[in-house]
A and B are shown apart, each in its own frame.
Chain A
């Protein structure tokens, strides 16, 4: 393992210090070492948007703190949920008096810690409501959507909810927009190599050379099947053919497409894949309103990609078009 490290056990804290130093125009450290907030949070009269999750997914989660996006984020150890105490502090950092929407991914640790934090917040007189992202189609069958993991679709959920809050939406409207956004979104990942937790020092699962794992999770959770490494065109077809029928996205729909690298796949290859994906989606008579390609939601040094597709209606279109300004997405 060739990595840039001091003590691997301190990697999250040291990363946060560097992050805040480099982005001091957008974010600030709060009184809790594992909570980062927008520079001007809380904004009086605005619904606060909070997220959080394990580290190792840069720019998620703290990179989506910014204008028309999230107000604060709780930070966990690598691939491990933040504490309930951190979520609670993030709620406080984001609360502008109109309540807080906590929008996070469907993982058991996050579920438990958020649940505990919401309970603690209630005791302190703070209103927090939650939406749990579950866009990963490979992680459970369609009739068990509540078991599906949240992956890169979370970004589109934050963007819609962040825009709704910025437009002055009330807490229930912000929650409804976030829920609609994630309900309209489907994702799938393909992994080409495993990732290495720095404190472990070696890959913690295996993807044999010449193969790829279809449906891989953001922490290397095994997917739906392992098959031979394919060309970009074949890979795109496999992803599109899994994602589109699940919602289903059909002829005449307008969508947002987000292709994210998992950390170690060159952006160049992501464009090669996107080129194929766009051809396939357009051939089905689906209109791509907006697309994103890049390392938007990663898994340490994993090679691979995720494809996320979101169906738009008039409301979601208006929200997604509102420019976001955060480290992960500078749309000015």
Chain B
């Protein structure tokens, strides 16, 4: 008990991710407006809402949903977040599609694979004030939880905490990639918008998975 969730039960996890982005559209726009161009909330909301409109009344599993969402972001939204989140979600889908039951080990593999794939298209490392600062510690925490033998529920809480800590860490960083990197010191003191949306997504994912643990 408490060690897996079923891939086929994953629709509600995706719908929670959609809601998290929709609910925070304005907030993400504000965060982005401080050192970016303010369109992050709008574009993320548009992509996630297209997914909801197209698949909200369909049945799909966790990795199927991630694949469809990723393709929408990549092929229909563009910007920099289209290829970035598109790569993350389609990579997660690719790594997990053969799994009927997803264990903590399986989920750690999935997130690590997504991070590795992301780093083939962007050069950002931890500390560069990007969403890597959220995604990387979240993936690390899953592996850590698996090593110490935590159950999936506890591991999800730990992942959400690691993601939030990672997001907060971007506040004191100077941006090295993306549009805000041209600001140098002026980018300090503000959260990174990508790290913020990534935290919202991972937190929603953790909440969704916790409800499906069996």
The interface of chain A, by Cβ under 8 A from chain B, is 9, 54, 76-86, 107-109, 112-113, 115-116, 139-140, 147, 149, 197, 199-200, 204-205, 217, 219-222
B39: contacting residue among A82, A108, A139, A197, CB under 8 A? A197
Beyond A79-B37, A112-B83, A200-B29, list 4 extra A-B contacts (CB 8 Å): A84-B83, A112-B121, A112-B122, A204-B37
What is the interface residue range for chain B against chain A?
Answer: 35 or more
Within 8 A of A (CB), among B18-37: 29-30, 32-37
Query: A77 and B77: CB pair below 8 A?
Result: yes
| Contact (Cβ within 8 A) A204 B33 | yes
Q: Least Cβ distance of A13 to chain B in Å? A: 12
Distance in angstroms from B46 CB to nearest chain A CB is: 6
Query: Restricting to B126-175, which residues have a CB under 8 Å from any CB of A?
Result: none
Contact A109 B182 (CB under 8 A): no
Bound CA–CA A85/B35 (angstroms): 28
Chain A residue contacts of B43, Cβ below 8 A = 77, 80
Contact among B29, B37, B38, B83 for A116, CB-based, below 8 A: B83
Q: Inter-chain contact count A-B, CB under 8 Å?
A: 103
Identify whether the interface residues of B are mostly helix, strand, loop, or mixed: helix
Name the distance in Å between B31's Cβ and chain A's nearest Cβ: 10
Residues of A within 8 A of B32 (CB): 204
Q: How far is the CB of A330 from chain B (nearest CB, A)?
A: 30
- A108 to B80, Cβ gap below 8 A? yes
B82 interface residue per 8 A CB criterion: yes
B39 adjacent to A81 (CB under 8 Å) = no
Interface string of B73-89 (1 = CB under 8 A from A): 01111111111100000
Chain B residues near A (Cβ < 8 Å): 29-30, 32-39, 41-43, 46, 74-84, 121-122, 177-183, 186
Q: Which residues of A contact B38 (CB under 8 A)?
A: 79, 197, 200, 204-205, 220
Q: Please, how many angstroms separate the alpha-carbon atoms of A140 and B183 in the complex? A: 9
- Whole-angstrom distance between the alpha carbons of A204 and B181 in the complex? 18
Q: For the complex, give the distance between the alpha carbons of A108 and B37 in Å.
A: 13
Of all chain A residues, the one with the shortest Cβ separation from B79 is A80
Contact present for B80 and A112 (CB under 8 Å) = yes
Task: Flag if A83 contacts B121 (CB, 8 Å).
Answer: no
B46, B81, B121, B179: the one within 8 Å of A107 (CB): B179
Q: Among A84, A220, A221, which residue has its beta carbon within 8 angstroms of that of B182?
A: A221
Which residues of the other chain, B, contact A205 by a CB distance below 8 angstroms?
Answer: 33-34, 38
Verify B181–A147 contact, CB threshold 8 A: yes
Contacts of A140 in B (CB 8 A): 182
Please determine whether B74 and A83 come into contact, CB atoms closer than 8 angstroms: yes
Nearest first, the 4 closest Cβ-Cβ pairs linking A and B are: A204-B38, A204-B33, A109-B80, A80-B79
